[in-house]
Amino acid sequence: MPLLRWKLSALLSLTILAGSVAAADLGRISGTVVDSSGKPLRGAIISGIQEDQQKSISVLSDPQGRFLLDEVPADLYTLRARLVGYEDNLTDELEIVAGDNKPVEFTMQAAKDLTAQRTGTSLFSEMKWENEEHRMSFKMSCTYCHQIGTQGFRTPEEPVDWEVMITRMDGFGALHKDLKKTVVKQLVDTYAEDAPKKWSTWTPPEAPKGKALAMRVVEWDMGKTRPSMIHDLELGHDGRVWAVDMANDALVSLDPKTGERELYAVPGGKEPYSDEPMRMGPHSLECDAAGAIWITCATGGKMAKFDPSTEEWTVVSSAPDPAKRGIYPHTLRVDAKGVVWYTDAGRGVFSLDPNNNNVRKFYNLPSANQAIGQGVGESRGVTPYGISIAPNGHVWYTKLNGNRVGRINPDVPDGDVKEWAPPFHGPRRLEVAADGTVWVPGCGSGVFAKLDPETDKWTVYDLPDKENQFPYALSVHPQTGDIWICGTTSDSMFRFIPKTEELIEYPMPSRVTYTREIEFDKDGSVWVCNSNWPNRHTERRLGSIIRISLDGTVNEATSKSRAVASTAGN
């Protein structure tokens, strides 16, 4: 099969660094952020933006309004100060040289119009519902891929445009039949034309504080400013970060050290960046022990394997019968034996064994009345969705609309499948901790929860403004045991410390940041990607790959040099 490979450096005319930046070529720039009266502003996001690299490095100001951007490659930057409730403040392009640079002082003016600063969380609250069933039905049907109410979402002009959009968004068939009759008018009334003038008065949230101030974010833009969907990501064994561009039937990579991006077309897919519809729809990806990358091809009903060392592809049907195809292979994980496990949103759970000629096996899942616990009922459809491998080898999965969490025991021929009915709506991408605790986000209810499989006990935790939150995924940090949760509609990431039950919210530097998956690096860094679809909704109309590090997680030098920016204080 011929290899289709594109160099993004050529496609995007990027200036790519020739190699890693030496420590001697790194600069430091500090400064302060104050309001118009001279009062220090805590929690402002200070971003050093490299336009030619399509990259930004961001930190937060401390309680005294001080910030420090350290370990910044010598280059031309635009510095931006951003804080909800204030107008952005940008410098002219300036040159940052190695070593210390002249301090920068930002004076921020109160925002005259807060509309553009409101996230999907607050904008979703403007919708009025006939009843709770309708609200939940809309939330579970129409927030799968994007935030609600943001500027890009409000582009339809006529009722027919909204109707087309709603029909397309109801792909999983969960929208309530009565709501279909009224939802177009509700959307027009809430978001079209001059509707924002009728919105309720919005008070900006409190600025970040405490542990959140130690955050550092590096963001690399990916794709093109036409349909690109950087859906999921994975950390490769070769130091590159891999992601799937679902809309372009492509696998993409980023070398964080050099900024080099590459694109590999999935066999059987469309020509990347063409106007053709996607054919394969690469959705989820995971490395096996040898570093090969396995991919679910959702719209193609296939499973694909890419070997980065040889750049060779293997593509097979996702169904056990090669003459058939999967309906919508969704999320995958690889167990300790190298067996690939994946959900199919239209059918159930499958396994694929590379050790045995890629033999696929289907597991029959229980019906609703066989689940443990009362739960809160199920929506139209079932939608097998998230999947996770427990330390003991058991395979856990969720049914998004079926509202179930299940477990398969691979050591038993029929899987000994068992399901629980959680006390919330929309279990999505789950994770099993080292101690066997099952952590689950409830996207419909705006909560996350833990299940003790031994006692069948659930413990549920609310996110702030939970009715309007939509936690897509969560993951357990392998070093700290902390739970990281996607603040998908709030341009944020959440970190929950189980020992103290402390919840910390970290603001992302880019508006309309919609995250779906979380990975962790060996140094403790957290990796996510912005995959809002369509990407025209996002601030720069691009997807992105994002690395989040906290004070001390990158290296000791970073911890020491950033001490000024992470001064304790609430």
Q: What is the pLDDT, as a whole number, of residue 173? A: 62
Confidence of residue 290 (pLDDT cuts 50, 70, 90): very high
Residue 197, C-beta contacts closer than 8 angstroms, at least 6 positions apart: none
**DSSP state letter for 240:** -
76-124 tens-digit pLDDT: 999 999 999 999 999 999 999 999 999 999 999 999 999 999 999 999 9
Q: Quick count: other Cβ atoms within 10 Å of Cβ 102? A: 10
Backbone angles phi, psi at 398, to 5 degrees: -125, 155
All structural domains of the chain with their residue ranges: 5-108, 127-198
Q: What is the pLDDT, as a whole number, of residue 193? A: 81
Q: Encode 246-306 in three state secondary structure.
A: HHHCEEEEECCCCCCEEEEECCCCCCCCCCCCCCCCEEEEEECCCCCEEEEECCCCEEEEE
Q: What is the pLDDT, as a whole number, of residue 530? A: 97
Q: What is the pLDDT, as a whole number, of residue 560? A: 38
Q: What is the pLDDT, as a whole number, of residue 172? A: 57
pLDDT at 421 over 50: yes
Confidence of residue 368 (pLDDT cuts 50, 70, 90): confident
* Rounded (5°) CA angle 134-136-140: 120
Q: What is the pLDDT, as a whole number, of residue 86? A: 98
pLDDT at 21 over 80: no
Name the percent of the chain lying above pLDDT 70. 89
Backbone angles phi, psi at 426, to 5 degrees: 75, 50
**DSSP state letter for 227:** S
pTM score, whole prediction = 0.93
529-567 tens-digit pLDDT: 999 999 999 999 999 999 999 964 433 333 333 444 333
pLDDT at 14 over 60: no
CA-to-CA distance for 396 and 430, rounded, in angstroms? Answer: 8
Name the percent of the chain lying above pLDDT 90. 78
Handedness of CA 383, 389, 390, 393 (dihedral sign): positive
Q: What is the pLDDT, as a whole number, of residue 170? A: 66
Q: Evaluate whether 210 touches 570 at the Cβ level (below 8 Å).
A: yes
pLDDT at 380 over 90: no
CA-to-CA distance for 314 and 548, rounded, in angstroms? Answer: 33
Q: Quick count: other Cβ atoms within 10 Å of Cβ 232? A: 26
Q: Evaluate whether 396 touches 406 at the Cβ level (below 8 Å).
A: yes
pLDDT at 19 over 50: no
134-174 tens-digit pLDDT: 999 999 888 889 999 999 899 876 788 878 877 777 665 66
Q: Quick count: other Cβ atoms within 10 Å of Cβ 118? A: 23
The CB-based long-range contact list for 465-468 (8 Å cut-off, 24+ gap) reads 465/121, 465/122, 465/125, 467/125, 468/120, 468/121, 468/122, 468/124, 468/125
212-248 tens-digit pLDDT: 999 999 999 999 987 899 999 999 999 999 999 999 9
The answer regarding whether domain 5-108 maps to CATH 2.60.40.10 reads yes
CA-to-CA distance for 414 and 408, rounded, in angstroms? Answer: 9
Q: What is the pLDDT, as a whole number, of residue 24? A: 65
Sole residue written with tokens 């280059």: 75
488-515 tens-digit pLDDT: 999 999 999 999 999 999 999 999 999 9
Backbone angles phi, psi at 280, to 5 degrees: -105, -35
**DSSP state letter for 326:** -
Structure tokens given for 246: 């679902």
Q: What is the pLDDT, as a whole number, of residue 564? A: 43
Q: Evaluate whether 260 touches 247 at the Cβ level (below 8 Å).
A: no
